[in-house]
Amino acid sequence: MIKKPMPLSVRASVICLVLLASVACQNGKTSKSVRPNAENQQQPSEDALRKQREAERLQLCQQELGALRAINQQQHQQLKQGFDHLMSGASLYAGVRTKVNGDTQEMVDALYRYKVNRLCAEVDQAVLAGLADRAEQVK
């Protein structure tokens, strides 16, 4: 299978979502000085791993969306439109995020994480259902 390069808009959207997640993590930290210990030193690596997992999940979602094109063109078109709309909104939000208060940032960050997870779950379900339907037709 030949892998096509990820479109620039999708790459930019992935970067925006990862940046949103990283900034959201920074907002949750307090400005109190704390003695460094083993737990505090592991925190950045855990955050980095979580951000990496989110980026990988979004990339996998986009790949599954591409696979859906061969399984069910109509569902692919509908979900792709939703994906593109969501990424466009995330990109716009990333541009104004620093201009809103922390509470709003936390709420909108959570909203985008939820929407991305929900859309990716819909893509997963559509791919699974489409493949299962095809397997049933083989009988």
Per-residue pLDDT of the chain (139 residues; tens, 9 = 90+): 455 555 555 555 555 555 555 545 555 544 444 555 555 555 668 878 888 998 999 999 999 999 999 999 999 999 999 999 999 999 999 999 999 999 999 999 999 999 999 999 999 999 999 999 999 998 6
User: Residue 32's pLDDT is what?
Assistant: 46
Q: How many domains does the chain have?
A: 1
In a domain, 31, yes or no: no
Residue 91 belongs to domain spanning: 79-138
CA pair distance 88, 23, nearest whole angstrom? 19
Judge if pTM exceeds 0.95: no
In a domain, 93, yes or no: yes
Of 121, 119, 112, 122, residue with least CA distance to 92:
112
In a domain, 133, yes or no: yes
In a domain, 101, yes or no: yes
Cα dihedral 50, 56, 62, 64, rounded to 10, equals -110
